[in-house]
Amino acid sequence: MSTAAPVAPVTPGPSTAADERLLRPIRRPSAGTAGATLVMAILVGLGVWSVIDLGIDLPTILGSLGSAVAFVGRMFPLDFPPLPDLAGMIAETLAIVFLATLLAVALSVPVSLAAARATTRGRITRGAARTLIVLARAVPDLVLAIVLLRVFGLGPVAGILAMGLHSVGMIGKLYADAIEELDDSPRQAVETVGGTRSQQIWSAIPMALLPQVIATGLHRFDINLRTSVLLGYVGVGGIGLEIADALRSLDYQRGMALALVVLALCIVVELVSGGIRAAILPRPGGRSARTGWIDRLLDRPTARPATEQIHAPWSVDRFRRVLSVAVLVVVTAGSLWKVDLDAATLLGGIAEIPSTVQLFLPPGFGGSAGTVFADLLVTVQIALAATLLGGILALPIGILAARNVVAGRAVHTGFRLLIVIIRGIPELILAIIFVVISGLGGVAGTLALALGAVGLLSKLIADSLEETDPRPQEALRALGASAPQVFLAATLRQAAPAVVAHTMYLLDTNIRSATLLGVVGAGGIGFLLLNAARINQFEVVTAIVLLMVGVVLVVEALSMWLRHAVR
Amino acid sequence: MTSSPGPHPRTTPAALPADPALTLRGVTKDFGKGVKGLDDVDLDLAQGSITVLLGLSGSGKSTLLRHLNGLHTPTHGTVSVFGESLRGLSGPRLRTLRRGIGMIFQDYGLVGPMSVLENVCTGALGELRGPRIGLLMYPKRVRREALQHLDRVGLADRAHQRADTLSGGQQQRVAIARALLQHPRILLADEPVASLDPVSAAQIIDLLRRISEEDGLTIVTALHQVELALDLADRVVGLRSGKVVFDRQTAGMSARDAAEIYESVATPTTQELEALTDMHSAAASSS
Query: What's the complex ipTM?
Result: 0.70
Q: In what order do the strands lie in the sheet with B50-54?
A: B101-104, B186-190, B218-223, B50-54, B235-240, B243-249
Q: Is-contact A474 B109, C-beta < 8 A?
A: yes
A227-267 pLDDT tens trace: 888 888 777 878 888 888 888 788 888 888 888 888 888 88
Cα B165 from Cα B233, distance rounded (Å): 31
Q: Give the chain A residue whose CA is nearest to the CA of B96.
A: A480
- B205 to chain A, closest Cα gap in Å: 11
CATH of domain A78-283+347-358: 1.10.3720.10
Question: Can you give the pLDDT at residue B208?
Answer: 92
| Mean of the per-residue pLDDT values of chain A | 80
Residue in B126, B135, B160 nearest the CB of A480: B126
Which residue of A23, A30, A499 is the best one to mutate when testing the B interface, meaning the one whose CB has the most B CBs within 10 A?
A23
Fold match between domain A30-76+360-567 and domain A78-283+347-358: yes
Cα A113 from Cα A173, distance rounded (Å): 10
Question: Can you give the pLDDT at residue B219?
Answer: 94
Q: Which amino acid appears at position A276 of this protein?
A: I
- Between A222 and A361, where is the model more confident? A222
Query: Which of A306-320, A432-446, A483-497 has the lowest average pLDDT?
Result: A306-320
Q: Which amino acid appears at position A512 of this protein?
A: R
Q: Is A480 on the interface with B (CB under 8 A)?
A: yes
Q: Which amino acid appears at position A177 of this protein?
A: D
Flag if A25 and B136 touch (Cβ within 8 Å). yes
Pick the CATH number of A30-76+360-567 from 3.40.50.150, 3.50.30.10, 1.10.760.10, 1.10.3720.10: 1.10.3720.10
A36-95 pLDDT tens trace: 888 889 999 999 998 888 878 777 777 777 777 777 777 778 788 888 888 888 999 999
Residue numbers of A between 12 and 31 with CB closer than 8 Å to B:
12, 15, 17-18, 22-26, 28
Sort out which chain A residues have CB atoms less than 8 A from B135's CB and list them. Answer: 24-25
B183-227 pLDDT tens trace: 999 999 999 998 889 899 999 999 999 999 888 899 999 988 888
Predicted TM-score (pTM) above 0.90: no
Q: Is-contact A138 A549, C-beta < 8 A?
A: yes
User: What are the extents of the domains in chain A?
Assistant: 30-76+360-567, 78-283+347-358
Q: What does the pLDDT average to over A121-131?
A: 89
Report the 10 Å Cβ neighbour count for B164: 13
At A187, is the secondary structure helix, strand, or coil? helix
- CB-based burial of residue B58 (10 Å sphere; 0-12 exposed, 13-18 middle, 19+ buried)? middle
Sort out which chain B residues have CB atoms less than 8 A from A17's CB and list them. Answer: 147, 151, 156-157
Q: Taking Cα atoms as reference points, which of A249, A245, A224 lies closest to residue A168?
A: A224
Cα A298 from Cα A292, distance rounded (Å): 10
Q: Taking Cα atoms as reference points, which of B220, B229, B217 lies closest to residue B265?
A: B229
Sort out which chain B residues have CB atoms less than 8 A from A567's CB and list them. Answer: 113
Alpha helix positions (H), A139-205: 141-152, 156-181, 185-192, 197-204
A80-91 pLDDT tens trace: 888 888 888 899
Flag if B125 and A489 touch (Cβ within 8 Å). yes
Q: Taking Cα atoms as reference points, which of A374, A376, A384 lies closest to residue A48?
A: A384
Q: Is-contact B175 B190, C-beta < 8 A?
A: no
- Between B14 and A555, where is the model more confident? A555
The set of residues, in sequence order, having a beta carbon less than 8 Å from that of B62 and lying 6+ positions away, is: B190, B191, B222
A-B Cβ pairs (cutoff 8 Å, strict): 158
Residue in A24, A469, A489 nearest the CB of B122: A489
